[in-house]
Amino acid sequence: MKPVPNSFERKITLKASRSHVWRALVDAEAFGQWFGVALEGRRFIAGEWTQGQVTYPGYEHVLWNVLIERVEPQQLFSFRWHPYAVNPKIDYSQEPTTLVKFELQDFEDGTLLKVSESGFAHIPDIRQKEAYYMDSRGWEEQLSRLEQFLAESARARASGSA
């Protein structure tokens, strides 16, 4: 059986300024809107845990729980979490976490966003393959949701300033 890679990376070019992409990532309420987690009144602070109830259809039973690792303005945002921790009968708290990093760069008329997740080699063998596969595919969908969120936000700003 082929071993699971330790990490993956996804890239997307967003038609939004770096500052707007940054806000969508580090403003907890905005993040929750596109990611699908209730984070009203929450903040992302390096070194602190942030929790919220998942609102994404089919996963409403999941408590989203992340440790904010780094917040480097308009450059890098990262957190640790338990990948694909969706079974309510399993206590994932003693398992190692993976590291999710968002890195921003200016790119032509927008922003290049790189999302990477690493640390799958330390996930228990019984969960490793599914966690890697689901998170890898999940980030593709989440980046599409972010792109849509940014487009809708731009339209709202444009119509509000007209």
With left for phi above 0 and alpha for psi between -120 and 50, is residue 148 left, alpha or beta?
A: alpha
* Position 1 pLDDT exceeds 70: no
pLDDT tens track for 97-130:
999 999 999 999 899 999 999 999 999 999 999 9
pLDDT tens track for 106-115:
999 899 999 9
Residues contacting 142, CB < 8 A, separation 6+: 34, 35
pLDDT for position 162: 47
pTM of the model: 0.94
pLDDT tens track for 15-26:
999 999 999 999
Which ranges in 27-85 belong to alpha helices (H)? 28-35
